[in-house]
Structure 1
Amino acid sequence: MKNIYRTFIAVSLAAGFVSCASFLDEQPVSEVPANQMWSSSRDAKAGVSQIYSYFRTAMRANYFYWGEFRSDDFEPGSSSAATQQRVMENQLTTDLDCADWSDLYTVINQANLCIKYLPKVDMPSVTDQNDLLGQAYAMRALAYFYAVRLWGDVPLFTEPNEKFSDDIYRERTDKDYILREVILEDLRKAESLIDRTGNKERKRISIYGVWAIMADVYMWLGEYNLADQTIEKMKGDATFMALETDINTWKKMFTEELNNKASDNTPENDEYSTKEFIFVVHFNMDEVGANGYSYMYQWFTGSGNRAAVVSEVLRNKYDAADLRLPLVAVEYQSGWEMRKYISGTISSTLNKTCEIGYPIYRYSDMILLQAEAQARQSKWEEALDLIKPIRTRAGLETPTADDFGTEDQIVDFILDERQRELIGEGRRWFDLVRTGRWKTVMGPINGCQEDGNELLPINYSLIDHNPKLVQNSYYATTE
């Protein structure tokens, strides 16, 4: 799809509408001004499709930088992976690409464009129009949710930037305000708009995706009862959302279901056999060429260039009887490779053709999150009942409430289970920060134990361009 327009602005908000052939298989739109472009159903679908394209770009490398490389899931792999090693060893500086929020704000600005223009498009189906609008609200919420978890206070934009003006230079808005008044409000709007029967797609936001983000936000805010209630809503349709019960199908879920999925323009058809995936970042080389491959092979296999190996800390958390361990980690050439998404061995020639998707939310994730929410409400037996099917699938017994003496002990057990189950899914670092355990866990590993070090620095280029931005305090004093 050709460039419609683009305004590069100082805080790196791209106001453009740029796309290759989208997964909705839209035809190219002629180069026209934005207020003329939003005139048909095709334009509306392409506009929302572009949000996902930008999000894929934002997450391609940052899925690991933001979600796991700062955690105890991984250790440095090859010495050639210098940037990844710096992040793992907590050597964070303002020149790192992962410290740049530009790609997230590109997602936000595209969502803002859709939110502004979609209601004005004359579409034959109001249901379809509302569903697209609901996806835009949900994706704006998700992008801001990543931003506040990573940087704390961030600039707030709820209108699209379509031309240059001084308004692009904004100070940072309080993260709690964004969480409660923007993110949650966007998710409530999405919840009311999403088509609950026609939208069965896992490569974009469905009603289950809305609830997953919402529950995650409630957990971040300590609203455990609301998180519990929200996840409970996801259990109403087992034909769409259900746990895999066999460890072999659990493995195939990652090695086959996520691999080389075709583009899709029929959201009413669920093309996945598994019912565990809620929202997946989709990769397709036919769609976006060289940028369409993921890093699941390149960064985790081959002793010469692998960025990371599974840490000894995590390996020691698996019981010897845990059926997951040999499926997620294999000792190979002086390192334990993450093989969760790989069946057999992988040739290095396949590194740059890998089309394995990244799970953003999965049902096992939600069940374990609900278990934590219930444990924090003194519902220990109920929490352990939720965990039991996941541990049974892994060949393990589940302890009883009598085995724990304090809430912290059972929460630690649940967090360890989340770590074992969700390795490679971009969740561990956020769990550590959300629960306030990042200092005690990471301090002995890489020295990450001073207040403010849990946030990322703001890339120097953003501060150079925007005089109203102030660097996060930990990095302002250490550089």
Structure 2
Amino acid sequence: MKKHIVILAAVLSASLAGCGSFLDEQPVSEVPAGNMWKTSRDAKAGVNQIYGFFRTAMRENYFYWGEFRSDNLAPGASSAADQQRVIDNQLTTDHRCTRWTDLYKVINQANLCIKYIPGIDTPSVAERDDLLGQAYAMRALAYFYAVRVWGDVPLFVEPNEAYSDAIYRERTDCDYILREIILEDAKKAEGLLDRTKNKERKRISVYGAWAIMADAYMWLGEYSLADQTIQKMKNDASFMAFEPSIDTWKKMFTEELNGKASDNTPENDDYSTKEFIFVIHFNMDEVGTNGFSYMYQWFTGSGNRAGVVSETLRNKFEQDRDLRFPLVAKEYQAGWEMRKYIAGDISSTLNKTCQVAYPVYRYSDMLLLQAEALARLSKWEEALDLVKLVRTRAGLDTPQADSFATEDELIDFILDERQRELLGEGRRWFDLVRTGRWKTVMGPINGCSTEGNELFPVHYSHLDQNKALKQNAYYAQTQE
């Protein structure tokens, strides 16, 4: 049983040796910490491993957690049974997307970096601080995913380097984690990250830290702070800027995200577009065939596609003659496939070897998030000015503020725009939960309308391993 307990608490330093399995019974690194955390190279390797674990955690869960439960998608093929269970709101405690193991690997690796990097002699203080800032930001992002998916989760801010009873922890209040861990980590990262040399969108920059911070403020209803944080992101157009051309918007997803080299030179920006802030990067030369993206395989081919664009969303696109629609969806073999990341048709061979990155944050996302914050602050005209940028690119007119009778009407309008703009970017389900609209939107579609159903269940193995844990209430009731 110990080997599974180790997984729960994510005693993860074994990975630094490059050959240890996380199913090994031995919970500590094959390279002792005293030998590992000595040089600048060790510090870089430690931080790089955070991103490696994050890729593993998000390869499938990017869609399971952010897309499949929303009204963006409908079931794609009967063979994609695991995905359909999530789309149809048939989540059970044995589904692999209910495991938090891989996120805790990210968290534990970040905790190792936060503990040891300050004592490493690096070529410059700025380089050391930047690595440390990336660790804080990635810990914040991992916890942010965790609380959005499960609510309360166990809290670890020190690394687990050896087996002890300390890994058996109760869940900590999600509001506390949002305020005291996620926001505080993002603020620490803001002060540490190198704003001159860290220009790599495949790793966290100060813009990524600000994006996490703004997103967390929105979840907490701190709209003025969210607005102020996003405003700070607009000060350097050489890194982040709006892409006004719909043609380049399409190429941004089909070309810019595809087949990039590994992120060994953070001072070099490999992207011509300034829309992307942070992406989950896949490179087979770096991680092998087990690390490829599912961006093609799960959304093309009638035999095994996991989901197709829903009729609800298609109607929103089509009623306005939205220029984005033919660029993001294509009717193929009795379904509208999501083709946002595909330039044309794709072979069955290629779709199993794609290296498309997943966008976590980009500028248009932040603009629409800021518009929502401004609407909450009764600044309707300013909010619509931001929405207009996105809609004009899509060939759409934007109504005047006096077209909306209530704040809720305006928020719904902004959320609809976010849905269309951010299709396939892992945002829609979180938007529905964050704004309390998940019941009214999803109830008629898949019956998701009972309080507590917005959270995911905790995997049964975590509960077996740690008796201090309790199941989320909705799923505990359904199992009685």
- TM-score of the pair, normalised by structure 1: 0.96
Counterpart-to-counterpart distance in 1, 2:353 and 2:15? 23
1:19-418 equivalences under 5 Å are 32-318=31-317, 319-418=319-418
| Structure 1 vs Structure 2 CA RMSD | 1.3
Query: How many residues matched?
Result: 466
Question: SS at the partner of 1:391?
Answer: helix
CA contact (8 A) 2:203 2:263 kept: no
Counterpart-to-counterpart distance in 2, 1:263 and 1:182? 29
Counterpart-to-counterpart distance in 1, 2:7 and 2:348? 39
Which letter does structure 2 place at the counterpart of 1:79? S
Deviation of 1:12 after TM superposition, in Å, equals 4.0
CA displacement 1:283-324 (0-9 Å, x = unmatched):
011111112210111100000010000000011111342100
Counterpart-to-counterpart distance in 1, 2:347 and 2:12? 40
Unpaired segments ≥5 residues, structure 2: 19-28
Deviation of 1:97 after TM superposition, in Å, equals 0.5
Question: SS at the partner of 2:327?
Answer: helix
1:24 — aligned with what? none
Counterpart-to-counterpart distance in 2, 1:325 and 1:50? 38
CA displacement 1:265-299 (0-9 Å, x = unmatched):
21111110000000000001111111221011110
Deviation of 1:264 after TM superposition, in Å, equals 2.7
1:444 — aligned with what? 444
CA displacement 1:210-260 (0-9 Å, x = unmatched):
000000000000000000000000100111100111100000000000001
CA contact (8 A) 1:214 1:230 kept: yes
Question: SS at the partner of 1:365?
Answer: helix
Q: 1:14 aligns with which of 1, 11, 33?
A: 11
Counterpart-to-counterpart distance in 1, 2:289 and 2:263? 19
1:467 — aligned with what? 467
Question: SS at the partner of 2:8?
Answer: coil
CA contact (8 A) 2:214 2:227 kept: yes
Which letter does structure 1 place at the counterpart of 2:445? I
Unpaired segments ≥5 residues, structure 1: 1-5, 22-29
CA displacement 1:77-116 (0-9 Å, x = unmatched):
0100000000000001000000000000000000000000
Q: Percent identity?
A: 75
Counterpart-to-counterpart distance in 1, 2:276 and 2:120? 31
Counterpart-to-counterpart distance in 2, 1:12 and 1:290? 27
Which letter does structure 1 place at the counterpart of 2:382? E
Deviation of 1:351 after TM superposition, in Å, equals 1.6
Counterpart-to-counterpart distance in 2, 1:19 and 1:361? 28
- TM-score of the pair, normalised by structure 2: 0.95
Counterparts in 2 of 1:358 and 1:20: CA distance versus 1, 3 Å: farther
CA contact (8 A) 2:16 2:31 kept: no
Counterpart-to-counterpart distance in 2, 1:189 and 1:262? 29
Which letter does structure 2 place at the counterpart of 1:159? E
Deviation of 1:55 after TM superposition, in Å, equals 0.3
Question: SS at the partner of 1:146?
Answer: helix
Counterpart-to-counterpart distance in 2, 1:305 and 1:42? 43
Counterpart-to-counterpart distance in 2, 1:288 and 1:321? 41
CA contact (8 A) 1:19 1:53 kept: no
CA contact (8 A) 1:8 1:14 kept: no
Which letter does structure 1 place at the counterpart of 2:281? H
Counterparts in 2 of 1:166 and 1:91: CA distance versus 1, 3 Å: same
CA displacement 1:177-230 (0-9 Å, x = unmatched):
111011111111111100011100100100000000000000000000000000
Counterpart-to-counterpart distance in 2, 1:293 and 1:358? 11
Question: SS at the partner of 2:278?
Answer: strand
Which letter does structure 2 place at the counterpart of 1:438? W
Which letter does structure 1 place at the counterpart of 2:406? T
Counterparts in 2 of 1:10 and 1:271: CA distance versus 1, 3 Å: closer
Deviation of 1:11 after TM superposition, in Å, equals 2.1
Deviation of 1:17 after TM superposition, in Å, equals 4.4
Which letter does structure 2 place at the counterpart of 1:237? D
Counterpart-to-counterpart distance in 1, 2:94 and 2:9? 15
Which letter does structure 1 place at the counterpart of 2:293? S
Counterpart-to-counterpart distance in 2, 1:74 and 1:181? 35
Counterpart-to-counterpart distance in 1, 2:276 and 2:159? 31
Question: SS at the partner of 2:279?
Answer: strand
Deviation of 1:461 after TM superposition, in Å, equals 0.3
Question: SS at the partner of 2:201?
Answer: coil
Which letter does structure 1 place at the counterpart of 2:363? Y
Counterparts in 2 of 1:20 and 1:416: CA distance versus 1, 3 Å: farther
Counterpart-to-counterpart distance in 2, 1:105 and 1:10? 9
Counterpart-to-counterpart distance in 2, 1:9 and 1:15? 8
Counterparts in 2 of 1:299 and 1:134: CA distance versus 1, 3 Å: same
Which letter does structure 2 place at the counterpart of 1:364? S
Counterpart-to-counterpart distance in 1, 2:415 and 2:271? 28
CA contact (8 A) 2:77 2:304 kept: yes
Counterpart-to-counterpart distance in 1, 2:437 and 2:194? 38
Counterpart-to-counterpart distance in 1, 2:73 and 2:189? 35
Counterpart-to-counterpart distance in 1, 2:31 and 2:441? 53
CA contact (8 A) 1:17 1:50 kept: no
Counterpart-to-counterpart distance in 1, 2:214 and 2:165? 36
Question: SS at the partner of 2:341?
Answer: coil
CA contact (8 A) 1:419 1:428 kept: yes
